[in-house]
């Protein structure tokens, strides 16, 4: 296994390659990859799908990936760690933003292929990525703040596209239930907003019928769904952050780290320690 490390908290560069000579590898940083031209295949965690000009990918840390190049490809790589946002100047709560996008990262590998839903959004993203690159070449006092703002916009748009495609691929025909799932996943740490009375009133479903309605559509109870959704985020935080088990348990409203460990083992069939040790490329 090869794990690449990022020495700085933000880097951007462009490479034009006819052969991908690097072995499949992981890294300790997030990476946005924009295909400016060319075609081939992207390999993520043993899954392979085609890429072409205009594709944009978000690669979370510790996903094993590589490229197979068919036509000479010009890549733009934007790399950053979670600390890029956590070390903000206080003008924007990037730490909170990182919490909100954890759900998106947890579901990324369940969405195959290109994730952008519309050509207008693709062009908007491409314009913003090119602007980030231009700003990275400047050294004035405004460039870092501008890059911060644009990068958050890019990630929010990617997150929305990932979420929309994931929910679409669940093949849920009930649009109201899709909105319920979106709300639950986006407010997974807010205990009060995940209770049946609150959800029933918000989405205009009878309180006495809500449990049956949810189970009919999700094929599991609301309680089980919430636990599984939280554990997918636990998996993400274990892989992508340096948070302790105690901190993760607190953030996701588990009773304590012991409760979290037992819930994790029940779902994954292994301890959290064993899960960390099996993250191989």
Question: Around Cβ 273, how many Cβ atoms within 10 Å?
Answer: 11
Supply φ then ψ for residue 247, to 5 degrees: -65, -40
Judge if 159 and 185 occupy the same domain: no
Per-residue pLDDT tens over the stretch 166-195: 667 665 666 788 889 888 887 888 889 999
Reading the block at residue 22, the tokens are 């690097």
Judge if 8 and 124 occupy the same domain: yes
Reading the block at residue 272, the tokens are 């959290």
* 85 band by pLDDT with thresholds 50, 70 and 90: low
Comparing 46-55, 134-143, 236-245, which segment has the lowest mean pLDDT?
A: 236-245
Reading the block at residue 63, the tokens are 């996903």
Q: Note the helical H segments in the chain.
A: 83-86, 94-107, 119-136, 143-169, 175-186, 196-202, 207-218, 222-240, 245-251, 257-268, 272-277
Q: Is 6's pLDDT higher than 50?
A: no
Total count of domains within the chain: 2
* 90 band by pLDDT with thresholds 50, 70 and 90: very low
Judge if 96 and 48 occupy the same domain: yes
Mean pLDDT, residues 44-64: 79
Judge if 118 and 196 occupy the same domain: no
CB 179 within 8 A of CB 186: no
CB 117 within 8 A of CB 163: no
Nearest to 125, CA basis, from 144, 164, 151: 151
Quick one: pLDDT at residue 126? 95
Quick one: pLDDT at residue 115? 75
Reading the block at residue 69, the tokens are 């190049």
Residue after which a domain boundary falls, among 132, 148, 169 = 169
Provide DSSP, 233-249: HHHHHHHH----HHHHH
Quick one: pLDDT at residue 92? 47
Residue after which a domain boundary falls, among 124, 151, 169 = 169
Q: Is 241's pLDDT higher than 70?
A: no
Judge if 202 and 159 occupy the same domain: no
CB 241 within 8 A of CB 259: no
Enclosing domain of residue 226: 175-277
Distance CA 135, CA 145 (A): 10
Reading the block at residue 168, the tokens are 């679409």
Q: Is 221's pLDDT higher than 90?
A: yes
CB 121 within 8 A of CB 103: no
CB 40 within 8 A of CB 70: yes
Residue after which a domain boundary falls, among 115, 144, 169 = 169
User: For the chain, what is the mean pLDDT?
Assistant: 80
Judge if 269 and 148 occupy the same domain: no
* 5 band by pLDDT with thresholds 50, 70 and 90: very low
Judge if 149 and 179 occupy the same domain: no
* 209 band by pLDDT with thresholds 50, 70 and 90: very high
Q: Is 91's pLDDT higher than 50?
A: no
Which residue(s) pair with 56 in the sheet?
34
CB 38 within 8 A of CB 71: yes
CATH of residue 186: 1.10.10.60
Judged by DSSP in three states, 265 sits in helix
Reading the block at residue 177, the tokens are 């239930």
Q: How large a percentage of the chain has pLDDT more than 90?
A: 31
Q: How large a percentage of the chain has pLDDT more than 70?
A: 75
Per-residue pLDDT tens over the stretch 129-167: 999 999 999 878 888 889 888 988 888 888 788 777 766
């Amino acid at each position: 296994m090869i794990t690449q490390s990022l020495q700085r908290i933000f880097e951007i560069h462009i490479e034009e390659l006819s052969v991908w000579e690097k072995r499949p590898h992981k890294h300790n940083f997030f990476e946005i990859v924009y295909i400016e031209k060319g075609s081939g295949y992207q390999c993520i965690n043993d899954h392979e799908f085609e890429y072409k000009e205009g594709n944009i990918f978000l690669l979370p840390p510790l996903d094993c990936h590589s490229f197979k190049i068919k036509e000479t490809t010009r890549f733009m790589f934007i790399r950053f760690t979670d600390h890029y946002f956590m070390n903000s100047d206080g003008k924007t709560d990037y730490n909170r933003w990182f919490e909100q996008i954890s759900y998106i990262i947890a579901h990324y590998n369940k969405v195959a292929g290109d994730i952008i839903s519309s050509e207008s959004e693709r062009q908007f993203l491409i314009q913003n990525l090119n602007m980030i690159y231009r700003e990275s070449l400047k050294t004035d006092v405004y460039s870092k703040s501008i890059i911060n703002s644009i990068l958050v916009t890019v990630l929010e748009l990617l997150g929305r596209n990932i979420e929309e495609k994931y929910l679409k691929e669940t093949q849920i025909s009930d649009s109201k239930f899709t909105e319920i799932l979106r709300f639950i996943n986006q407010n997974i740490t807010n205990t009060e907003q995940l209770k049946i009375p609150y959800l029933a009133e918000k989405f205009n479903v009878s309180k006495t019928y809500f449990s049956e309605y949810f189970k009919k559509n999700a094929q599991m109870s609301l309680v089980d769904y919430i636990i599984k959704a939280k554990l997918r985020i636990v998996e993400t935080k274990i892989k992508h952050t340096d948070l302790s088990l105690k901190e993760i348990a607190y953030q996701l409203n588990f009773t304590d780290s012991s409760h979290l460990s037992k819930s994790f083992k029940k779902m994954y069939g292994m301890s959290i320690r064993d899960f960390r040790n099996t993250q191989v490329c």
